Amino acid sequence: MSERADSRSWAREEFGRADLGDARRTARLVAMAAAACEQPSGMIAAVFQNDREREGAYDFLESKFVAPEEMIASIAAATVARSVNLPYVFVPVDGTSITVADRAHKRDFGNVGNDTHGARGLKIVDALAVEPDGTVLGWLALTYWARSPDRKVPAPGTHARKTRPLEEKETRYWVQTVRSASIALDERRVRGWFQIDREGDGRDILMALHETQHWWTVRGNQDRSIELEGGDTDTLRAQMALRTIAGT
């Protein structure tokens, strides 16, 4: 009974804020999350043993009135609420993918991984909130998409790759995730420290981070030319080395 009560309490905290247009939909979401917490599984049929509950879960997930974005927003709000008394939270942002069986290509998925391997699924970029001691607090943002079968990727280093507008690049999903996480933190005035690996070392993501009021660290994948006060130029890494030696 205690475990069941804990599951329901967790589900209410995570999903109780979801605005699905009807309180009954939110209540069903909370109940489904509690059931999944009590009996985790990758299959609806394994979580819900009762025929009525199982059919209700399928109907809920297939409903046009259920917006995944509202569920994510509820999770983000719960995560930020757990962060309000901390001096800051680390915000690791990273990408991954979900692979599903879709051999006939009849489902609304796209290629993942190497295009020549034929794997199908969804691409994902997410942002977590992590306490300074390393404890994960939850999701702040999650963006997912299916790659178009008609997408064309210019060869690395080509002029076409560098000059494409943001809306034509998958980088836009990284920018969207950074902005969504920043907005969630700003609502409760929580300081974030974004952490992104080499994939984030690009103009669009760096500019999106710069536009926030938060700290950020991006692992560099190349050196950069920079303009110094007075008009002189140097490389970024040379200046960082000088400042490290000077202790500034």
Question: Could you read off the pLDDT of 16-69 as tens digits, one per residue?
Answer: 999 999 999 999 999 999 999 999 887 899 999 889 999 999 999 999 999 999
90 pLDDT band, cuts 50/70/90, is very high
222 pLDDT band, cuts 50/70/90, is confident
The residue-averaged pLDDT of 131-143 equals 97
More confidently predicted of 3 and 9 = 9
User: Does position 143 have pLDDT exceeding 80, yes or no?
Assistant: yes
User: Does position 1 have pLDDT exceeding 60, yes or no?
Assistant: no
162 pLDDT band, cuts 50/70/90, is low
User: CA 79, CA 185: separation in Å to the nearest integer?
Assistant: 9
User: CA 97, CA 131: separation in Å to the nearest integer?
Assistant: 25
User: CA 11, CA 29: separation in Å to the nearest integer?
Assistant: 8
Percent of the chain with pLDDT over 90: 66
The residue-averaged pLDDT of 7-15 equals 96
What is the CATH number assigned to the segment(s) 85-222?
3.90.350.10
Q: What is the mean pLDDT of the chain?
A: 89
Q: Give the end-to-end CA distance of the chain in Å, rounded to a whole number.
A: 57
User: Does position 159 have pLDDT exceeding 60, yes or no?
Assistant: no
User: CA 217, CA 128: separation in Å to the nearest integer?
Assistant: 15
Q: By mean pLDDT, which of 25-29, 66-70, 83-87, 157-161 is the weakest?
A: 157-161
168 pLDDT band, cuts 50/70/90, is confident
The domain locations on the chain are: 1-66, 85-222
User: CA 219, CA 199: separation in Å to the nearest integer?
Assistant: 8
More confidently predicted of 109 and 190 = 190
Task: Please report the pLDDT score of residue 248 as a whole number.
Answer: 59
pTM confidence score: 0.85
One-letter amino acid at 110 equals G
Task: Please report the pLDDT score of residue 236 as a whole number.
Answer: 84
Q: Tell me the backbone φ, ψ of residue 61, rounded to 5 degrees.
A: -65, -25
Name every residue whose Cβ is closer than 8 Å to that of residue 124 and which is 6 or more positions away in sequence: 95, 96, 97, 98, 142, 143, 144
CATH class of 1-66: mainly alpha
The residue-averaged pLDDT of 195-200 equals 94
The H or E element spanning position 111 is strand 110-111
